[in-house]
Amino acid sequence: MVVLAFPMVDADAILVEKMRAGDEAAFREIVRRYQDRLLRLAESTVGSRAVAQEVTQDTWLAVLRGVDRFEGRSTFKTWLFNILMNRARSAVHKESRAGRPDESVGDERFDKNGAWVSPPEPWSDRVDDRIVANDLAVRLRELLPNLPEQQRAVITLRDVEGLSSEEVVKMLGVTEGNQRVLLHRGRARLRALLNEELVS
As a whole number of angstroms, the distance between CA 75 and CA 97 comes to 32
Q: Tell me where in the chain the CATH 1.10.1740.10 domain(s) lie.
A: 11-91
- Report pLDDT for 33: 92
Is residue 67 pLDDT above 60, yes or no? yes
DSSP single-letter state for residue 187: H
pTM of the full structure: 0.60
- The residue among 101, 70, 90 whose CA lies nearest residue 178 is 101
pLDDT band at 104 (very low <50, low <70, confident <90, very high): very low
> How would residue 32 be classed by pLDDT, with cut points 50, 70 and 90?
very high
Sign of the CA dihedral running 89, 139, 179, 75: negative
Indicate whether 117 pLDDT > 70. Answer: no
**Spatial contact of 57 and 49, defined as CB atoms under 8 Å apart:** no
Task: Please give the average per-residue pLDDT across 72-97, as a whole number.
Answer: 77
Please report the pLDDT score of residue 96 as a whole number. Answer: 31
Regarding predicted confidence, which is higher, 51 or 127?
Answer: 51
Question: Given pLDDT bands bounded at 50, 70 and 90, which one contains residue 94?
Answer: very low
CA-to-CA separations, 99 to 105, 159, 172, 186, in angstroms, rounded: 13, 17, 12, 9
**CA neighbor of 168 nearest in space, from 141, 184, 150:** 150
* Comparison of pLDDT for 197 and 4, the residue scoring more: 197
Ranges in the chain annotated CATH 1.10.10.10: 96-200
**The architecture CATH gives domain 96-200:** Orthogonal Bundle (1.10)
Class of domain 11-91: mainly alpha
Please check the confidence at residue 34 and state whether its pLDDT lies above 90.
yes
Write the pLDDT tens digit of every residue in 75-87: 899 999 999 988 8
Instruction: Output the average pLDDT for the chain.
Output: 77
List the end-to-end C-alpha distance of the chain, in Å, as a whole number.
Answer: 64
pLDDT in tens, 120-175: 555 444 444 555 556 667 777 788 888 888 888 888 888 888 888 888 888 888 89
